[in-house]
Every structure is written in C-alpha cells, then in structure tokens.
Amino acid sequence: MLCNVKSKKFIQYVMLAIGMISLAYGVIGIQTAPEDAHDYSMLLGMFSGFGAGLIAVAIFFLIRSKVVSPEKLKQKEIEQNDERSIAVKRAAFSVSWLVALLLFAVLAFVFVGMGMRLASYLCIGALYIQFISFLIAHRICEKKM
Amino acid sequence: MKNRLEELRMERGMRQEELAAALSVSRQTISSLENGRYNPSITLALKLARYFGLTVEDIFIDEEEAL
C-alpha cells in the first residue's frame, strides 16, 4: 500500500512538471508569436489551459494527501481498489467506448454532409485507431488471461 | 446467485461497515452482495468464507443448481 501511495505521489509530481512545462510553453509562446498567427495562438492558448488544468489537479491531490487524515486516505484507497468499484468502472468504460465509436462514425457523416472533408477524415482515422487499439488490447489481455 | 451474507452478518451482530472494514472492501460492496446485485470474485468469496469460518457453498447458493 505504501508503494501505491508513493507511486501516486510520483504521478502527481510528474503531472505538476508536465503542467508547468505546458503552461510555460503556452504563455511564452503567446507573447512571442506573430500577431496574425491566430491558429498558432489558439494552439498555444490550449497548451496553457491544459497546463493550468494539470497543475490545479496535481496541487489538489498533493494538498489532499497532506491535509486528509491517514484513516480517510486508507478508506479512499479501499474504495478505489474495491473489486465492485473496479467492475463498475469497467462496465462504464465499455459503454463509453461504444458511445465514442458511434460518435466518431456519426460525426464523420455529419462533417461530410457539411463539406468538411478534413474533419471527416480525422474522425474516420480516430475511429480506426480506437478500433485497432481495442484489437491490440484484446490480444494482449487474451495472452495474459 | 443467492447468498446468506446478511443472515450471517446479523447473527454476529455486525454492521455492514464493520464487515466491509474486516474484508477491506467498501460498504456498498457488502450491500450489493447482500441484495444479490453483485456476485463476488473467487478471492472475495473465499475471504468471506474464511471470515465466517464456513465454506463458499455454505454462503453462496447457486439458484440453478438449487432447482
């Protein structure tokens, strides 16, 4: 369990570092980007937003691990590792995977209808990647079990 | 799958929280098991059997087999 707590803390510090790098890249990039490069500025804005979000989440979890009592943290860990919770999460993931697959397919049709070919190709590409990743994961899990 | 979990817990005068803490699972898991909404893994079934000093078959009843 101690090992689990340590690895979680390590992940939180990694999240914090990635968040800081992403935020710094976004903020510095926006200040140095040419004024007419709107798309590039938007991308940099996304980087800074993503970075700020990661920092906020990492700080929240780091503070929580310091402030919340060890008993409550242990209870939280039991709830997270609880076999029913894991089964519930797996069932929810299966449904959301299917929803995402259908969403990509529907969006591909919608974008073609709107004359946005590139967006449509991206959706079809994402659909294939999602399906191929399922097949790869299935193969790996089949070998393991 | 039916089970005698609630009956066994009541016999020992335990609350769901206490049983959950003893088995390192959540209270919701115990509640779901008692209501028959969730079937446990073999590991948890064995843990329960060991905890009550019974066999898995003493706690869990296969309804199809019972017919």
* Alpha-carbon span A66 to A63, nearest angstrom: 5
Whether chain B has a CB inside 8 Å of the CB on A79: the answer is yes
Q: Which residues of B touch A83 (CB under 8 A)?
A: 25, 29, 40-41, 43-44
Query: Alpha carbon of B54 to those of A40, A78, B17, B34, B46: distances in Å?
Result: 67, 25, 21, 17, 9
Whether chain A has a CB inside 8 Å of the CB on B40: the answer is yes
Residue recorded with tokens 């919770």? A85
Of B14 and A77, the one with more pLDDT = B14
Whether chain B has a CB inside 8 Å of the CB on A83: the answer is yes
Output the pTM of the full model: 0.71
- Name the closest residue on chain B to residue A82, using Cα atoms: B25
Q: Which residues of B touch A79 (CB under 8 A)?
A: 26
Tell whether the model's pLDDT for residue B67 goes beyond 70. Answer: no
Whether chain A has a CB inside 8 Å of the CB on B38: the answer is yes
> pLDDT by residue (tens digit) across A36-66?
888 888 899 999 999 999 999 999 988 888 8
> What tokens appear for B48 in the block?
């329960």
Of the ranges A72-76, A101-105, A106-110, which one carries the lowest mean pLDDT score?
A72-76
Three-state DSSP at B37 gives coil
Q: Which residues of B touch A85 (CB under 8 A)?
A: 26, 28-29
* Alpha-carbon span A25 to A54, nearest angstrom: 14
- Name the closest residue on chain B to residue A79, using Cα atoms: B26
Q: What is the ipTM of this complex?
A: 0.85
Rounded to a whole number of angstroms, the distance from the CA of A11 to the nearest CA of chain B is 24
Buried b (16+ CB within 10 A) or exposed e, A126-136: bbeeeeeeeee
Tell whether the model's pLDDT for residue B7 goes beyond 90. Answer: yes
Rounded to a whole number of angstroms, the distance from the CA of B14 to the nearest CA of chain A is 19
Residue A27 identity (one-letter amino acid): V
